[in-house]
Amino acid sequence: MEDISEATVVIGGGLAGLACAVALAEREHPVTLLESRPRLGGRASSFEDRQSSTLIDNCQHVSMGCCHEFNRFCKTVGIADSFQQAEQLYFIGPDQTGSRFQINRFAASRFLPTPLHLFPAFAGLSYLNLHQKRELARGLKQLARTAVDTQHEPTMAEWLKEQGQSQTVIDRFWNVVLVSALSESLERISLAHARKVFVDGFLRARDSWQVLIPTAPLEQLYGSKIQNFLTERGAKVRLKSGVKQIVLTEGRVTGVELRDGSHIRAKQVVLAVPHQRVLDLLPADFPGRADLARIEQLESAPITSVHLWFDREITTLPHAVFVDCLSQWMFNRTRLMQEQPDNGYYYQIVISASRQLTGTARQGRSQDEVIADVVDELQQVWPEARQAQLLHSRMVTEHQAVFSVKPGVEQLRPAQQTQVAGLYLAGDWTSTGWPATMEGAVRSGLLAAEALLNDSGNSESLLLPPGKTSLLSKLLFRL
């Protein structure tokens, strides 16, 4: 069996591992990236739907303007042009009569300063009346001014009740934004993470709220371009290389054992795998096991995608956010990908925190019934869809899409530096200051690389300086 020596090994080719490997390779630090699958990207993956001959993503991944590290990563590796920046969002909700759906174009004012630049957009939401909009404004202001104690914080549902937010405002605003952003229900979302969404996404800077949507399948996005970037800078990428265990000698890293029985000697290892796999890859008696074992208390939340192909276009909108619906987001994949609709017009519907659609919580509904419910909603929103023929459909659930941002979760997330000499952790589940997002994953990889380089005698801060907060936001919300 092969027995080779490498300076640094990164285990896991998801975004965290890729960000770490890219940072090291850029600084001419020898690194080998091991990925057990035949592709890079981790959970940001695609697979071929044979009936439609289409690469479909296991789950829709989007970025935002406030995701500075992820957006910089995309520019660094040359994939930034594969994202479409949405300068306006389309919220679709019932009008005041409740008899029909209405499209609300959500965009920033060019004439008002931050954070007032979004005031006209909030004020124009058709599915909230004037009283409800005032109630919402009070809630947003109070949320921004609230100092959160992460040791004793309520859920967002509890906090909203304390603030007197009505059920209509909760259902038609707070639930719409937060469940999509954090992939959890309000009864499980911590106040701190909810606050971060609104402060960083809407109130701190002018373009932070803008959504960046991939215009290529995720497998293409995180595949050959990033692999070529790494190899051109001297890094080694080994696919189909599953790790059995990290080898420790006298309390420090000395290498890794692969599933095929071969060994790689290494002085430094970055473990960039999902938190469910971490403890299995480490010896039972490794230093710091009791502290790290807290990650076993991290819970996961599922995200479901319904993929639909129609014989005609049911809407020209590139995307839409649904209010008071089972469906949460629609992505017009045919338009986003700028593809010819040879196999039908392709739409992806995303349902986050989809426990009600999986396992025993499904309440007897089959996948066909869920798909039928989604199609019915589309027909209510766009009546012309009733004339369209559904050519093909598919429902995909990522059961462990993200970790659950429950109160107390920050006490379970470990730092990237461990008690084991030469061992580092990376993953959105580590302590990054962000929820389970692509931004959090990239930040974790950079923090792991920073700790590793520092231990190697190359001290350097790899994170960007904190983004500037507008002066008016500071005055209004005490940010």
- Helix, strand, or coil here: 167? helix
The pLDDT value given to residue 96: 75
* CATH number where 53 lies: 3.90.660.10
Query: Quick check: is 399 in a domain?
Result: yes
The pLDDT value given to residue 359: 62
* CATH number where 110 lies: 1.10.405
Tell the residue number behind the tokens 């008071």, with chain if given. Answer: 324
Q: Give CA–CA dist 169/166, Å, rounded.
A: 5
Structural domains in the chain (count): 3
Query: Quick check: is 466 in a domain?
Result: no
Query: Quick check: is 381 in a domain?
Result: yes
pTM to 2 decimal places: 0.94
One domain, residues 181 and 268: no
Q: Are 263 and 1 in contact (CB under 8 A)?
A: yes
- Helix, strand, or coil here: 345? strand
Query: Quick check: is 94 in a domain?
Result: no
The pLDDT value given to residue 1: 37
The pLDDT value given to residue 476: 86
Strand (E) or helix (H) holding 214: strand 211-214
Q: Give CA–CA dist 106/60, Å, rounded.
A: 21
Token pair belonging to 55: 């690469």
Chain centroid to CA 6: how far? 32
9: containing domain: 3-44+222-298+407-455
Query: Quick check: is 471 in a domain?
Result: no
- Consecutive sets of 10 residues in the chain, 479 residues long: mean pLDDT of each? 72 98 97 96 89 86 95 97 95 83 95 94 94 96 92 95 97 96 96 95 93 93 93 97 96 95 96 97 92 96 96 97 96 92 94 83 76 96 96 94 95 97 97 96 98 95 92 88
* CATH number where 15 lies: 3.50.50.60
The pLDDT value given to residue 360: 53
Chain centroid to CA 379: how far? 29
- Helix, strand, or coil here: 380? helix
One domain, residues 342 and 193: no
Nearest to 35 by CA among 251, 261, 304, 227: 227
The pLDDT value given to residue 44: 87
Strand (E) or helix (H) holding 228: helix 224-232
Tell the residue number behind the tokens 């890094």, with chain if given. Answer: 235
One domain, residues 123 and 136: yes
One domain, residues 334 and 374: yes
Burial state string for 325-351 with b = 16 or more CB within 10 A and e = fewer than 16:
bbbbbbbbbbbbbeeeeebbbbbbbbb
